[in-house]
């Protein structure tokens, strides 16, 4: 993983140590994440030190880090985007609790990028199901209206929670910038990562919700069948 953010002199190794230890104390108490981490990490002291080294390398450019987080996460069974979403939620709660604005400004965007890359890598190990996701608009559908442009900082709660279009109405999610996770609220849920330039056709009355994972924007075109 390349480092693109220069070290901030206001951030110290002690800050990194606080962040890692407080964050993973929260993770180990979390009902969703604790079984995943506690089931695969048998020496927490060594693991926490490795994580401190990783973040010190990433943020402060101190030492070299030789771990390989991508393959290790890809081998964990049963992960969904909800796990990564919860990981991010707890991370940002921890950086807010520390009240170190210089640290938060640097590491929150890093954590978002890490989560997206890990999720992309994890998904790439799965067998793709081309029957689930449809990107092309069938020729018998016509756009009859478009939504406003939704941005990461102005995403309505209605779209973050389970919702669906009406009978006979298709939606086309068009990503303009950034990245978004689209979740089909089935049992089990199915997710896809949408990035700038991608689009996704949503079938009528299909329960789903969306959540940004990086700054960005998208728009929805609403379609119905062309009357003959």
- For the chain, the average pLDDT equals 85
pLDDT at 194: 87
**Distances from the Cα of 113 to the Cα of 26, 85, 96, 182, 207, angstroms:** 21, 12, 18, 17, 27
DSSP E strands: which ranges in the chain?
A: 141-146, 150-151, 170-177, 179-184, 190-195, 199-202, 208-212, 217-225
pLDDT at 1: 41
pLDDT at 204: 95
Lowest mean pLDDT among 14-18, 49-53, 59-63, 93-97: 59-63
Q: Return d(Cα 189, Cα 81) in angstroms, integer.
A: 9
- With 0-12 / 13-18 / 19 or more C-beta atoms within 10 angstroms meaning exposed / middle / buried, residue 140 is exposed
Lowest mean pLDDT among 91-100, 175-184, 201-210: 175-184
Mean pLDDT value of segment 61-90: 72
86 touches 35 (CB < 8 A): no
Q: Is 208 helix (H, G, I), strand (E, B) or coil?
A: strand
Judged against a pLDDT cut of 80, whether residue 162 lies above it is answered with: yes
- Render pLDDT for 175-200 as a digit per residue (tens, 0 to 9): 999 888 888 887 777 778 888 899 99
């Amino acid at each position: 993983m390349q480092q693109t953010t220069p070290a901030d002199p206001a951030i110290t190794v002690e800050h990194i140590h606080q962040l890692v230890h407080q964050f993973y104390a929260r993770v180990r108490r979390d009902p969703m994440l604790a079984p995943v981490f506690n089931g695969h990490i048998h020496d927490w002291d060594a693991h926490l030190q490795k994580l401190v080294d990783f973040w010190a390398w990433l943020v402060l450019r101190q030492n070299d880090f030789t771990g390989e987080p991508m393959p290790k996460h890809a081998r964990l069974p049963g992960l969904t985007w909800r796990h990564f979403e919860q990981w991010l939620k707890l991370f940002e709660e921890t950086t807010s609790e520390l009240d170190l604005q210089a640290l938060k400004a640097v590491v929150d965007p890093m954590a978002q990028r890490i989560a997206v890359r890990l999720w992309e890598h994890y998904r790439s190990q799965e067998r793709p199901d081309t029957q689930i996701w449809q990107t092309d608009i069938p020729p018998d559908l016509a756009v009859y209206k478009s939504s406003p442009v939704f941005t990461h900082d102005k995403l309505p709660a209605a779209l973050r929670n389970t919702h669906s279009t009406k009978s006979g109405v298709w939606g086309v999610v068009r990503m303009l910038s950034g990245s978004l996770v689209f979740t089909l609220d089935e049992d089990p849920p199915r997710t896809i990562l949408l990035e700038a330039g991608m689009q996704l056709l949503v079938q009528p009355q299909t329960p789903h919700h969306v959540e940004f994972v990086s700054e960005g924007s998208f728009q929805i075109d609403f379609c119905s069948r062309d009357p003959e």
